[in-house]
Amino acid sequence: MILDSFRLDGRTALVTGGNRGLGQACARGLAEAGAAVTVLGRRPPSWGADFVACDLATADPAELTAVVDQVRPDILVNNAGVIRRGPAVEVAPEEWDEVLTIDLNADFHLSRAAGRHMLAAGGGKIINVASMLSFQGGLRVPAYAAAKHAVAGLTKALANEWAAHGVNVNAVAPGYMATDNTSALRGDPARSAEILARIPAGRWGTPDDLAGAVVFLASDAARYVHGTILPVDGGWLAR
C-alpha cells in the first residue's frame, strides 16, 4: 500500500526548535506518522516529546556532535532559526554572527554528525528548513537571506555526496507563515497587504501547512528525492 510508505514507525527523529511554530508542527507530524521524536532547544516542548537542552547560539561543534551521538537519529530536521531586521548599513557584527551561527553553522555541524551515523547505517533523512529567501534577497534581512541561500547550497552539496549511500538530504522552503518570525510583517498593515496580494492562495501559511511536506521527505515515499528545495509557499514563487 502506498500509504504505508509514508509511515515512520521504528524511526528516531531529532528536530531543532521543535517547541513552537514551524518546528513544533513538524515534530508533531513526525510523531503522528510513527517516529520517536526528540526536540533540541532551549526550552522543553509542551506536548510531551523527548527533549535535549541546547542553545544553538552558543553550542560548539563538539556539543552538537554529542547531542547527535546521544540521540542517533534516523531523521534530522534542522528547523531552528532567527531573523534580524534592519538596514544593511546598521547590522551589528554580533547580529550577523548570531544569524549565521544558528541558521547555517548549526545545520552543518548537526548534519555532519548525523551523516556519520546515517552513512554507517546505510540510510537516513536530513531535512533542512530553507526559505523564500533561499531564492530571493528580501528586504532588510541581509544575514537571514545569506544564511538561507547557503542552506540551499549546503542541502545540494550534502545530497551530492551522500545520495549514493542511501542518505536523502533535502529542504523545505516555507513561504510567508504566521509565526513569531513574521509577527512584525503581519503587524504592518501596508506590508502585510502587499505580501497577501502576491500569494495566489490568498492567505498566510500556518505551521501545519509545512508538516506534510516534512513527513513526506522523511519517509520512504521520498526515497528517490535528493537535493531538492521544496517550496511550501501558497504559490508565491509562481507569481
Give the catalytic positions in this structure: 144
Sheet holding 167-174, edge to edge: 50-53, 36-41, 12-16, 75-78, 124-129, 167-174, 229-232
Question: Count of alpha carbons within 13 Å of 74, Cβ hemisphere only?
Answer: 18
- Residues in contact with 3: Cβ distance below 8 Å, sequence separation at least 6, in sequence order: none
- Residues in contact with 16: Cβ distance below 8 Å, sequence separation at least 6, in sequence order: 23, 39, 40, 41, 56, 77, 78, 79, 80, 106, 110
Spatial contact of 8 and 75, defined as CB atoms under 8 Å apart: yes
- Residues in contact with 98: Cβ distance below 8 Å, sequence separation at least 6, in sequence order: 57, 82, 84
| Sign for the pseudo-dihedral over CA of 155, 32, 231, 131 | negative
Spatial contact of 155 and 169, defined as CB atoms under 8 Å apart: yes
Spatial contact of 148 and 127, defined as CB atoms under 8 Å apart: no
Residue among 151, 145, 114, 147 at smallest CA distance from 129: 151
The position carrying cell 515515499 is 221
